[in-house]
């Protein structure tokens, strides 16, 4: 289980995260929602050990998170790859970094699950569509079978049809692979459809945290209600309500 306990992060004099706590069980999905600047990416950085915490603790099954080799799926699919490397080289980087034996069956299987033609991997990042690049990003995240995968706005660079397709594939891959997923998203409809739990981050603090269906049915705070009602107004929650 991922445990985030009372963490605070400071950037200069500003506090970007304050007393943030939540947990995420193996194989479960947690969505972190909140407006721009709320601290969502900072939170991912803190979990990955890239952003130092002023206080608090983060652990995976009682050990430092880095020991479980968590994977990250980034928002900008093409920017996530070295433009000079073939996608295949980039995809295999986690396997090389962790000194694992390359498993071509696993690569084929994951490509199939992500509806990716393996021939695509011989191209460079600029030679595939954004939607394909994001699925290759997910492939790279999953290749070394991490128990924990962090997604920072994985759909926001994609068009509406590609968003739905990619969201469905992420959900299928999570069922198949059983990783714990932490998904940062602006999209409350997606959060409610995909995640078991939702944490609402506001100005660096957890404003609301609990089961996704309970949040959608009855937010506990005025801010939570405002977010939920705004999503309803956009039609974003129609498919989950
Ligand atoms: N390196 C930094 N130095 C100073 N302040 C920073 C730094 N990185 C982020 N911040 C500040 O921390 C706050 C949280 O930023 P963060 O990027 O985590 O927000 P976010 O919720 O991911 O927003 P978005 O939805 O726009 O991606 C913001 O006020 C931001 O200006
Ligand atoms: Mg961000």
Question: How high is the pLDDT of residue 137?
Answer: 96
Give CA–CA dist 228/236, Å, rounded. 9
Domain membership flag for residue 5 = no
Q: How far apart are the first and last CA of the chain?
A: 29
Q: Which residues contact 92 (CB under 8 A, 6 or more apart)?
A: 102, 143
Domain membership flag for residue 239 = no
Please tell me the number of the ligand nearest to residue 205's CA: 1
Give the CA angle between residues 120, 130, 235 to the nearest 5°: 135
Domain membership flag for residue 139 = yes
Give the CA angle between residues 94, 96, 98 to the nearest 5°: 65
Q: What is the CATH number of the domain that holds 175?
A: 3.40.50.300
Counted domains in the chain: 1
Asked if 206 and 200 touch (Cβ cutoff 8 Å), the reply is yes
User: Which numbered atom of ligand 1 lies nearest the CA of 12?
Assistant: 4
Please name the residue that has the structure tokens 């490397």. 85
Question: How high is the pLDDT of residue 230?
Answer: 84
What per-residue string of b and e applies to 180-210 under the rule 16 or more CB within 10 Å gives b?
bbbbbbbbbbbbbbbbebbbbbbebbbbbbb
Give CA–CA dist 111/59, Å, rounded. 31
Domain membership flag for residue 209 = yes
* Cβ neighbours of 11 (radius 10 Å): 11
From 9, 14, 39, mutation site for ligand 1 pocket: most ligand atoms within 8 A of C-beta: 39
Domain membership flag for residue 58 = no
Asked if 140 and 119 touch (Cβ cutoff 8 Å), the reply is no
Domain membership flag for residue 89 = yes
Whole-model pTM: value is: 0.93
Give CA–CA dist 222/219, Å, rounded. 8
Q: Which residue owns the Cα nearest ligand 1 atom 4?
A: 11
Question: How high is the pLDDT of residue 77?
Answer: 87
Please tell me the number of the ligand nearest to residue 43's CA: 1
Asked if 19 and 205 touch (Cβ cutoff 8 Å), the reply is yes
CA distances (Å), origin 234, targets 131, 197, 229: 24, 22, 9
Domain membership flag for residue 57 = no
- The DSSP symbol for 1 reads -
Question: How high is the pLDDT of residue 11?
Answer: 87
Q: Which residue owns the Cα nearest ligand 1 atom 9?
A: 42
Q: Which residue owns the Cα nearest ligand 1 atom 27?
A: 36
Domain membership flag for residue 11 = no
Range of the domain at 34: 25-49+66-234
Question: What is the CA(48)–ligand 2 centre distance, in A?
Answer: 14
Beta bridge partners of 188: none
Q: Which residue owns the Cα nearest ligand 1 atom 26?
A: 36
- Sign of torsion, CA 223 225 228 230? negative
Q: Is the CB of 175 under 6 A from ligand 1?
A: no
Q: Is the CB of 36 under 6 A from ligand 1?
A: yes
Spans of the chain, pLDDT less than 70: 235-241
């Amino acid at each position: 289980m991922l445990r985030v306990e009372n963490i605070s992060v400071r950037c200069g004099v500003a506090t970007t995260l304050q007393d943030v706590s939540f947990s995420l069980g193996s194989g479960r999905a947690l969505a972190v929602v909140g407006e721009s600047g709320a601290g969502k990416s900072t939170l991912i950085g803190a979990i990955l050990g890239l952003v130092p915490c002023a206080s608090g603790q983060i652990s995976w099954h009682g050990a430092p998170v880095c020991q479980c080799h968590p994977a990250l799926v980034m928002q900008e699919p093409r920017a996530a790859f070295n433009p000079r490397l073939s996608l295949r080289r980039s995809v295999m980087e986690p396997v090389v970094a962790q000194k694992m034996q390359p498993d071509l069956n696993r690569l084929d299987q994951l490509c199939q699950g992500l509806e990716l033609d393996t021939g695509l991997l011989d191209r460079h990042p600029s030679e595939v569509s954004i939607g394909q690049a994001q699925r290759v990003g997910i492939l790279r995240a999953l290749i070394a079978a991490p128990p924990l995968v962090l997604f920072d706005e994985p759909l926001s660079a994609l068009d509406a049809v590609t968003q739905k397709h990619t969201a469905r594939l992420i959900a299928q891959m999570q069922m198949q692979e059983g990783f714990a997923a932490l998904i940062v998203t602006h999209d409350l409809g997606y959060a409610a459809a995909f995640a078991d739990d939702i944490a609402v981050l506001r100005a660096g603090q957890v404003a609301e945290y609990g089961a996704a269906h309970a949040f959608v049915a009855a937010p506990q705070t005025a801010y939570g209600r405002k977010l939920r009602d705004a999503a309803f107004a956009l039609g974003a929650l129609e498919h989950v309500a």
